[in-house]
Amino acid sequence: MAEVLLKIEGINKRFGGLQALSGVNLEIPKGAIYGLIGPNGAGKTTLFNVLTGLYMPDEGSFTFDGHDLFRAKPHKVVAAGIARTFQNIRLFSEMTALENVMVGRHIKSRAGALGAVLRDPRTRAEEAAIREKAWELLEYVGITDVADDLARNLSYGHQRRLEIARALATEPKLLALDEPAAGMNPRETDDLKHLMSKIRDGGVTILLIEHDVKLVMGLCDRIAVLDYGKRIAEGVPETVRKDPKVIEAYLGVAHE
């Protein structure tokens, strides 16, 4: 049995009279690619926002790598080892690709504001190391050819890869990807699949929200399904695919 990296129990989140999440339980094994699927409005992104500190849950518990992160602020979540991308790409559009990754890497910086102003030798050495690491990450995701291009000028597929590189710059133990294949053509999706496998093989656990059922079923080790804020199924892809509740709520009769 693989070690559990992330465990959430009884997570509830309400927005006024709307129960967005209701008693959600998940255990994500270390070293897995774990899929989270469900219809639109099922609560998937809300759960991501709870796990990454953007929303405060109302009840429940959340432990990650042995640390209690229940209601932790986003910077604490990142420092603990969780990084994420967003359904709507959030890059610094007027910065280059390289600069975007360097921003992500600065969470590891020790120089602080004073060092940035004084530009002492230690700060300059640290900045050089950050730039070098950022370049390595662009190479890792396969987009060094656009390192000096502004983020807004990149193709959609390259922007997705850049956002992943920036997330990896924080050295996460868990990478949470919110619909990374949305809007991609089949070749870009296939390339993304290989990149995610590469990231997992490099020691980073992945939590994946994705509407591309074929991608999820062919890539993930385990899958959880949400519907109306509740977990209705969880298990290996083949088990989830055949679950009557999942077929009714999400996959449709054509997938039986």
Look at residue 206 in the predicted model and tell me its pLDDT. Answer: 98
pLDDT at 108: 67
**What pLDDT does residue 123 have?**
78
**Cβ pair 39, 209 in contact under 8 A:** no
**Spelled out in words, what is the top-level CATH class assigned to the domain 4-81+172-255?**
alpha beta
Average pLDDT per block of 10 residues along the chain, 256 residues long: 92 96 97 95 95 96 96 94 93 96 81 54 85 97 98 94 96 96 90 96 97 92 96 96 89 46
Domain boundaries, the chain: 4-81+172-255
**According to the model, what pLDDT value does residue 124 have?**
83
pTM score: 0.91
The candidate with the shortest Cα–Cα distance to 127, out of 103, 163, 159, 97, is 103
DSSP type of residue 173: S
